[in-house]
A and B are shown apart, each in its own frame.
Chain A
């Protein structure tokens, strides 16, 4: 024990004295890949579209500008939807909800998942086992089925949607965090903090968490990709935002019957969702490659 105490300050030194955190290093390396740049570009463009779009809309999202499923004309640049509303205006206004809901759900899942994962990794006793088995149970439901199960009785409430999506992602984040944290909990600086009598909360979030930010970043961008897809899918099924809201997922649901006569009302939101998820996934892949680069560098 006394040896460890003596060793502690030197072990702590590199962590404190390091000018760049490992996360910044990973992000820099990730930016070196073409795919990360393309991904960031896509995400940036679509977020901009979602945020600024509503102000550029030529019509109100609920205003009737023509008869249903009109093809593009001077009045409606890309045609009208199933009720005769302007597709362009509804498309420009429809990105905000998906972005906001999926970002909130992902953040919530991160907070819960990180807390459970760190706790389990640090406890490493029966509590770890119980937590992991409990997560296995939640994982037995495909995300969409879990969300539908929760929506089935309470109804399509947005807060419930966010909670349900977060609940389906938190176990996966917790598993990853636990795995990454297990490699850290035995390090000397954790032991040093224990000897110094730091409270568990401080050890978990002050000592261990900063050392697993890089894999967490990769996981977060992946989870965001899936949150976007899941939220959009739920809206597409009709259990997300309710009419007359303008929402990309709901637009696909409302207009798919008119696909043969007026494809734009479906193709635009589908393309936007597709490009957004491709963008976030490219960023995730770039970060993952940068992260593996570190491992390879030390292994070879």
Chain B
């Protein structure tokens, strides 16, 4: 499902769409790009705060429901600074976010940072495993399909990736559970029964199915863009030139074609990794994986505002950061853009 996925390449990647900075230079471009990222994060913080805490009406009442006692309402108002003007609430909250003081969970009374720290590590591990497998795999599949264009391998991968790309990740996840966890084979745990305080790599079997679900959800997108990009490069003049020079095909592919074909894939990969940050919500819930995705679902159910605010900010920040890195990496790697700038 999703999202970010079918995005056309970012503006910087489209021919002619690249905006020359007025003062030139790669350094200035990077500085500008970082400032823009920070501005985006600031606006995001306004949205997150506005959507959760600054809505008209009694926020404490909305969180606790109609049967809440006046004492309990007062405690929540105190915790969230609801008795103060909205602007003060916001600055207080933002200062907390910036200094790592994320407030106290309304549901269990733990400091949010303590509650989330193990879960962040677990989710990061899950995403890392998924990325480490899916990125090389999809670059390989994409390049191979391009080299065997319109042959059986290409046709089959095209159909399979198209179908996988369409499926919401919980459909993929349930299929994997039925296949490996419950009905067909019973070789892998269908749900993780480990607490958040156990690092998941110590119980590696619980990571396999969630990671596999994410891999199957992401690989189609990267491999399809890699295939398109590789086809374009293989038809280019410089690859033709390298072949005419008498270079062996292996060297033509590895030295000349691959490095250029990878460039557009960087942007898509960054988008896909950012997408994983959202994809883990459904996948972790499905597998009861002890990470931030499952925690977000629980927090939304119990209206645990401090946790919702922290996690949405975190996920958005990951997205902004990854896009920033992808833009900078693209500039540094691609000779054309580099010379256009300096």
| Contact yes or no, A142 B3, CB < 8 A | yes
| Contact yes or no, A236 B40, CB < 8 A | no
**Given the complex of chains A and B, what is the CA–CA distance between A191 and B245 in angstroms?**
50
Known contacts A141-B312, A236-B282, A277-B167: does B2 contact A153 (CB below 8 Å)? no
| Contact yes or no, A153 B52, CB < 8 A | yes
Tell me the chain A residues, 236-292 only, with Cβ under 8 Å from chain B: 236-239, 252, 256, 259-260, 263, 266-267, 270, 273-274, 277-278, 280-282, 285
Known contacts A175-B8, A239-B300: does B315 contact A136 (CB below 8 Å)? no
**Which of B59, B166, B169, B177 has its CB near the most chain A CB atoms (within 10 A)?**
B166
What is the chain A residue whose CB lies nearest that of B174? A270
Chain B 174-195: CB-based contact to A (< 8 A → 1; otherwise 0):
1101100011000000100000
| Contact yes or no, B319 A140, CB < 8 A | yes
Which secondary structure characterizes the binding site on chain A? helix
Q: Which residues of B contact A233 (CB under 8 A)?
A: 1, 168-170, 282
| Contact yes or no, A274 B167, CB < 8 A | yes
Which secondary structure characterizes the binding site on chain B? helix
| Contact yes or no, B182 A139, CB < 8 A | no
**Which of A136, A172, A232, A277 has its CB near the most chain B CB atoms (within 10 A)?**
A136
| Contact yes or no, B44 A137, CB < 8 A | yes
What is the chain A residue whose CB lies nearest that of B42? A137
Any chain A CB within 8 A of the CB of B296?
A: yes
Chain B 286-304: CB-based contact to A (< 8 A → 1; otherwise 0):
1000000000110111010
What is the distance, in angstroms, from A84's C-beta to the closest C-beta of chain B? Answer: 21
Tally of A-B Cβ pairs under 8 angstroms: 169
Tell me the chain A residues, 127-180 only, with Cβ under 8 Å from chain B: 133, 136-137, 139-145, 148-153, 168, 172, 175-176, 179
Contacting residue for A278 out of B43, B62, B163, B301, CB 8 A: B163
Chain A interface size band reads 35 or more
Chain B 118-137: CB-based contact to A (< 8 A → 1; otherwise 0):
00000000000000000000
Known contacts A150-B51, A225-B166, A280-B166: does B319 contact A142 (CB below 8 Å)? yes
| Contact yes or no, A140 B171, CB < 8 A | no
Q: Which residues of B contact A151 (CB under 8 A)?
A: 300
| Contact yes or no, A263 B308, CB < 8 A | no
| Contact yes or no, B1 A143, CB < 8 A | yes
Tell me the chain B residues, 269-328 only, with Cβ under 8 Å from chain A: 274-275, 277-279, 281-282, 285-286, 296-297, 299-301, 303, 305, 308, 312, 315-316, 319-320
**Given the complex of chains A and B, what is the CA–CA distance between A281 and B299 in angstroms?**
33
| Contact yes or no, A142 B279, CB < 8 A | yes
What is the distance, in angstroms, from B137's C-beta to the closest C-beta of chain A? Answer: 21
| Contact yes or no, A270 B166, CB < 8 A | no
**Given the complex of chains A and B, what is the CA–CA distance between A153 and B59 in angstroms?**
8
| Contact yes or no, A259 B316, CB < 8 A | no
**Given the complex of chains A and B, what is the CA–CA distance between A142 and B4 in angstroms?**
7
Tell me the chain B residues, 27-72 only, with Cβ under 8 Å from chain A: 36, 40, 43-44, 47-48, 51-52, 55, 59, 62-63
Any chain A CB within 8 A of the CB of B141?
A: no
Chain B 214-253: CB-based contact to A (< 8 A → 1; otherwise 0):
0000000000000000000000000000000000000000
Any chain B CB within 8 A of the CB of A204?
A: no
| Contact yes or no, B190 A259, CB < 8 A | yes
Any chain A CB within 8 A of the CB of B95?
A: no
| Contact yes or no, A148 B296, CB < 8 A | yes
A residues apposed to B, CB below 8 Å: 35, 133, 136-137, 139-145, 148-153, 168, 172, 175-176, 179, 222, 225-226, 228-230, 232-233, 236-239, 252, 256, 259-260, 263, 266-267, 270, 273-274, 277-278, 280-282, 285
Q: Could you list 12 examples of A-B contacts with CB < 8 Å?
A: A142-B2, A143-B3, A152-B300, A152-B305, A233-B1, A237-B297, A238-B297, A259-B183, A263-B182, A274-B166, A278-B166, A281-B166
- In the A-B complex, the 8 residue pairs with the smallest Cβ-Cβ separation, listed nearest first, are A142-B278, A229-B1, A281-B166, A229-B168, A277-B166, A274-B171, A140-B316, A152-B300
